[in-house]
Amino acid sequence: MTEAELYTVYKGVYVPTHLHPAESLKFYEEFSFRPDDIIIVTYPKSGTTWMQELVPLIMSGVPWLEVHRAYILNLEERPSPRMFATHFHYNMMPTSFFKVKPKVLYVMRNPKDVFTSSFHYYGMASYLVKPGSQTEFLHKFLEGKVVFGSWFDHVKGWINAEDKDRIMFISYEEMIMDLKDSVTRMATFLEKPLEDAVIEKIADRCVFKNMKKNKMSNYSLVPSEFMDQKKSEFLRKGVFCFNDVHTVDCKFY
C-alpha cells in the first residue's frame, strides 16, 4: 500500500492513520499540560520502548499522548505527575506545552542505527508502507518521506528548543555504555532520587536480554496481522556502532 493509503499528513509530516485518526489528533491539539507533567520524546526507533520501561520504574505508567487510545483514557483526570510519550517534532507540540513548559526527556540515537532499525520495522508492520530495497528506503529516510518526517529536523528542532532547563537530552549510546549512570541522572532530573540498590535493580531489569523476554516490551502479544515478528523481531539487537581512525566497535543493548 502507498503513503496516501496508510498515512495522514499532519503539520507537514507523515503519521500512521491507523494510530493517529482525526479524533486523536484533535484531542492532542486541545490537550492541557500541567507543569509537573513528564514527556518522553523520541524519533522512532531511537530507544522509545527502552525509555517506556525505564521511566515507569522510576515513576509510574506512561501512555502515548497522541495515539488513538489517548482520548478515551481520561488522561486529564490522572493524578500528577503524569507521564506521556510522543514522536512529534518540537514545532508540532500543542499550545499548552509552550505555556506550561512540562519536563521533557529527549532521547537521541545515531541516525545510521535508526535507519537500520526502521528498515526492518517497516518490513514487519502492516500499518507502514513497505520499505522496498535498502537504497530506496535510504532515499526516503534522508528526504524525510517517512513517518514523523526527517530525523535531522526532529533532532535539530528539539536541540534548539527554548527552556532547556526543562529538557534532559540523553543519547541511546550513553545509556548503553552506562545504564546505571543514565538511570541516576534521569531520576535526579525527575526529582526522584533513588537508592543504589534500586538503581541496580532497574538497570538489571532493563538490559536487552530481560526486555526481550518481557511480553510488554517485546510486543509479542500484538496480533501478527499488525506486526509480523516472523519477518523481523520488534526487539532485534539494540546495536550501536562507532568509528574512529583505528577501529570499528559495536556494542549490543
What radius of gyration do the chain's Cα atoms show? 18
Task: Give ∠ CA 65-111-158 in degrees, rounded to 5.
Answer: 45
Pick the range with the lowest mean pLDDT from 123-137, 143-157, 225-239. 225-239
Does residue 54 have a pLDDT over 80?
yes
Q: Mind spelling out the 3-state secondary structure of 101-161?
A: CCEEEEEECCHHHHHHHHHHHHHHECCCCCCCCHHHHHHHHHHCCCECCCHHHHHHHHHCC
pLDDT band for 86, please (50, 70, 90 cuts). very high
Domain CATH for 205 = 3.40.50.300
Does residue 71 have a pLDDT over 90?
no
User: Does residue 81 have a cis bond before it (omega within 30 degrees)?
Assistant: yes
Q: Which domain holds residue 74?
A: 3-252
Where do we find the cell 526502521? 118
Does residue 209 have a pLDDT over 80?
no
> What cell was used for 28?
492532542
> What local confidence, expressed as pLDDT, does residue 65 receive?
55
| Overall domain count for the chain | 1
pTM here?
A: 0.81
Strand 239-243 and strand 248-252: the pairing is antiparallel
User: Do residues 1 and 14 lie in contact, with contact meaning Cβ atoms separated by under 8 Å?
Assistant: no
Residues 83, 51: Cα–Cα separation, whole Å = 11
Which helix (H) or strand (E) segment holds residue 5: the answer is helix 3-6
- Residues marked active site are found at 87
Instruction: Say how many Å lie between the first and final Cα of the chain, rounded.
Output: 33
pLDDT in tens, 94-104: 999 999 999 99
pLDDT in tens, 159-175: 999 989 999 999 999 98
Sign of CA dihedral 188, 197, 60, 124: positive
Sign of CA dihedral 131, 134, 135, 141: positive
